[in-house]
Structure 1
């Protein structure tokens, strides 16, 4: 993102945001030669050690923050410390009972998986679009949470077909897929200050 000299907005030196498309691994390198998120960032992001804050799996997309500051990384990934919001498409009819189960939590080999909030946005055919809010991020948290629930009509597990992270804390995704930008200093301050209120 280019700023003109007369623009007052000051850029963060600590945080940058990427809108990750599907098909990119959140890792510095891959033995199988698959695409990584660093291919979408300038070369200096790799060489200067900008690290992703949290993860999005290969098939997931949306907001990914990077930092070189380990304290910020830790603060944003500590459970209960930071709200993350996702929009997902689920195969199957998501009922009020499913939503109640997701809010109460489901036991899994990875511990208790639960959502803070689940809101039904729309339905299309045998699919349901949801907005899901969580405050921790176990590996494949949302996919496993809904995969533990059964479609009442067919008895098959619900399956997350699409997953997109749209916000982390106070910062909302506002860039096109595959693009990145620095956070503004004000955005960084707001994001960090909100951590202490959650």
Structure 2
């Protein structure tokens, strides 16, 4: 017999919605068990037999699927927005299965956002204990030295909040702006922006280029690509069998640490283009560069 779990957890694993959204659905009276509307998310079940959502029986959970979405700027990572702002679900292809975002990207942050049909996988990918590195490229106005950026490898405390090791490198200057690449593994709320603002910089563009072994590559803004089943299986095996990667020490950079600990390479299926956005398309070679010009 399956281990008893809260209904929100079971429904999230079945890809119905996130736990928070499911709790909201229960409060709205949209979920029932054997015909009786549930009024608490604390309901404990061993299976979803007899559970309905909006009157429809819940199907058994299918194999997890993972998608790579090139999130545009000015789009919310949310199910809905009561003020009417555009969300990722407004721009995602309508033929996608029900997917949930892995973590969030801020409204004005663009780049790689993972989407999955499996609530359990979503949670595993989000947990800080998984130690999955994320890489960002930030364009910021102001002055900073490489030495200041290198000091971030020791971590930093800002307004009482401790941010872990960050591998930060200055790429180049463009007028009053500087491009900086940062790799981190904690992913605290607005971490990149907070740290760079603490250094006296004003971030005016932020792009996530990698999440674990998965990269933005040359994908168009708004495009979606599915990670093939074999690659996903190998990646999930690394999550299941490998403890949190040890933090880099000495001369070992987080970037090298990332290469050593996350060796699965994504081979996404052909991309499905969605409606174009007003944002300029980032066309990187290996990683996006401003102005759409490939790296020589």
Q: Give the TM bin, normalised by the shorter chain.
A: 0.7 to 0.9
Q: Which has the higher contact order (CA 8 A, sep 6+)?
A: 1
Name the residue aligned to 1:165.
Answer: 208
Q: Paired residue for 2:172, among 109, 122, 125?
A: 122
* 2:125 pairs with 1:85: no
Name the residue aligned to 1:23.
Answer: 74
Residue 117 of structure 1: how far off its partner (Å): 0.8
Residue 51 of structure 1: how far off its partner (Å): 0.8
Q: Answer yes or no: is the 8 Å Cα contact 1:26–1:36 preserved in 2.
A: yes
Distance 1:52 1:186 in 2: 21
Residue 188 of structure 1: how far off its partner (Å): 1.6
| Residues 107 and 32 (structure 1), Cα distance of their counterparts in 2 relative to 1, 3 Å cut | same
| RMSD, matched Cα | 2.0
Q: How many residue pairs end up in the alignment? A: 178
Q: Answer yes or no: is the 8 Å Cα contact 2:64–2:117 preserved in 1.
A: no
Distance 1:67 1:87 in 2: 24
Is there any run of 5+ residues in structure 2 with no aligned partner, and where?
A: 1-62, 246-296
Q: Which has the larger radius of gyration?
A: 2
Distance 1:65 1:13 in 2: 13
> Once superposed, which parts of structure 1, at least 4 consecutive aligned residues long, lie more than 3 Å away?
none
Distance 2:203 2:152 in 1: 13
Distance 2:154 2:176 in 1: 24
Distance 2:228 2:160 in 1: 36
Q: Answer yes or no: is the 8 Å Cα contact 1:22–1:58 preserved in 2.
A: yes
Distance 1:133 1:100 in 2: 12
Q: Answer yes or no: is the 8 Å Cα contact 1:27–1:37 preserved in 2.
A: yes
Name the residue aligned to 2:12.
Answer: none
Name the residue aligned to 2:43.
Answer: none
Q: Answer yes or no: is the 8 Å Cα contact 1:77–1:136 preserved in 2.
A: no
| Residues 52 and 112 (structure 1), Cα distance of their counterparts in 2 relative to 1, 3 Å cut | same
Q: Answer yes or no: is the 8 Å Cα contact 2:150–2:167 preserved in 1.
A: no
* 2:63 pairs with 1:63: no
Distance 1:73 1:163 in 2: 23
Q: Answer yes or no: is the 8 Å Cα contact 2:146–2:170 preserved in 1.
A: no
Distance 2:236 2:159 in 1: 32
Q: Paired residue for 2:158, among 108, 118, 122?
A: 108
| Residues 146 and 115 (structure 1), Cα distance of their counterparts in 2 relative to 1, 3 Å cut | farther
Q: Answer yes or no: is the 8 Å Cα contact 1:105–1:115 preserved in 2.
A: yes
Q: Answer yes or no: is the 8 Å Cα contact 2:69–2:112 preserved in 1.
A: yes
